[in-house]
Amino acid sequence: MITTDLHPVDEEGAQEFRSRTSETYARIHGDVVSGKLKPGVKLKIEQLREEYDVGATPVREALSFLAADGLVVREDQKGFRVAEVSADEFEDLLAVRCMIEERALRLAISRGGRKWEEGIVLARFRLSGVGRIEGNEAEWERHHRAFHMSLLAACGSSLLLRLSKQFYDENNRYRHLSRLNHATTRDVRGEHEEIAEAVLARDTDRAVGLLVEHYTKTGNLLRIALKDLATDGHG
């Protein structure tokens, strides 16, 4: 297992953290992904120190980790800032993500066993259960991430899983920044059902096709929203 426990929660939320650094990492990570911390914003240590009520060391450590993740950019002697977004970067991300997840999904379908199937069923059930009524946003987000990861869980490659999670989060940031409601725009729930069915039926090509289409559809919407963001978002 290459990954470190600094990474955000995978399944159940509301864990307790064993270090200030982990907690601070999770919080900043969440704030960047959710768009609360906007692209390009300067991340002043003193400010974050106060915001999260913690010392400078955990803040700097969390930011260092985030920098390697790609969500934050560091420049020596000039501190940290939230990574910029752009249409080009997004295209790049989407394409690489599709490639990674396709591979992971194919492997998972060929290798996955009973336990993997049950994980998908469970994740699908949870996701379908929580409507996106306001207040449940966070919970829906968590279940949505868990669902998508459950599909790949049995791929047998910790590297592919790590990358899938990382890119999921990065893509998610774009979605939030575009204020794209996701669930309201299309029949996302239906798409999830379809994907889950295809996967569980071991219909590999169909599953991959649906998954990539799922991402591409969102991508197309994001692409449009990004243009607006680029034009009026300067300020």
Partner DNA sequence: CTGGACTAAAATATCGATATTTGTTGACGC
Partner DNA sequence: GCGTCAACAAATATCGATATTTTAGTCCAG
Q: Are 94 and 171 in contact (CB under 8 A)?
A: yes
Q: Is 216 in the site for a second copy (CB under 8 A)?
A: no
Whole-angstrom distance, CA of residue 147 vs CA of residue 153? 10
Task: For the chain, state the CA radius of gyration.
Answer: 18
Q: CB of residue 46 vs DNA: minimum separation in angstroms?
A: 5
Per CB under 7 A, contacts with DNA among 13-32 are: 18-21
Q: Is 45 in the site for DNA (CB under 7 A)?
A: yes
Q: Is 162 in the site for a second copy (CB under 8 A)?
A: yes
- Closer Cβ to DNA, 76 or 232, answer by number: 76
- Closer Cβ to DNA, 77 or 231, answer by number: 77
**Residue 2: alpha-carbon gap to chain centroid:** 19
Query: Which of these ranges, 75-83, 111-119, 173-181, 206-214, lies near a second copy under the rule CB under 8 A?
Result: 75-83
Q: CB of residue 56 vs DNA: minimum separation in angstroms?
A: 5
Q: How crowded is residue 72: how many other Cβ atoms within 10 Å of its Cβ?
A: 21
Q: CB of residue 74 vs a second copy: minimum separation in angstroms?
A: 4
Q: CB of residue 57 vs DNA: minimum separation in angstroms?
A: 4
Q: Which residues contact 156 (CB under 8 A, 6 or more apart)?
A: 107, 108, 111
Instruction: Output the 3-class SS for 36-97.
Output: CCCCCCEECHHHHHHHCCCCHHHHHHHHHHHHHHCCEEEECCCEEEECCCCHHHHHHHHHHH
Q: Is 10 in the site for a second copy (CB under 8 A)?
A: no
- Closer Cβ to DNA, 19 or 86, answer by number: 19
Largest CA distance in the chain: 54
Among 103, 106, 132, 176, which residue sits at the site for a second copy (rule: CB under 8 A)?
A: 103
By a kind-dependent CB cut-off of 5 to 8 A, residue 44 interacts, out of DNA, a second copy, none, with DNA
Q: CB of residue 37 vs DNA: minimum separation in angstroms?
A: 13
By a kind-dependent CB cut-off of 5 to 8 A, residue 64 interacts, out of DNA, a second copy, none, with a second copy
Element (H, E) at 164: helix 158-177
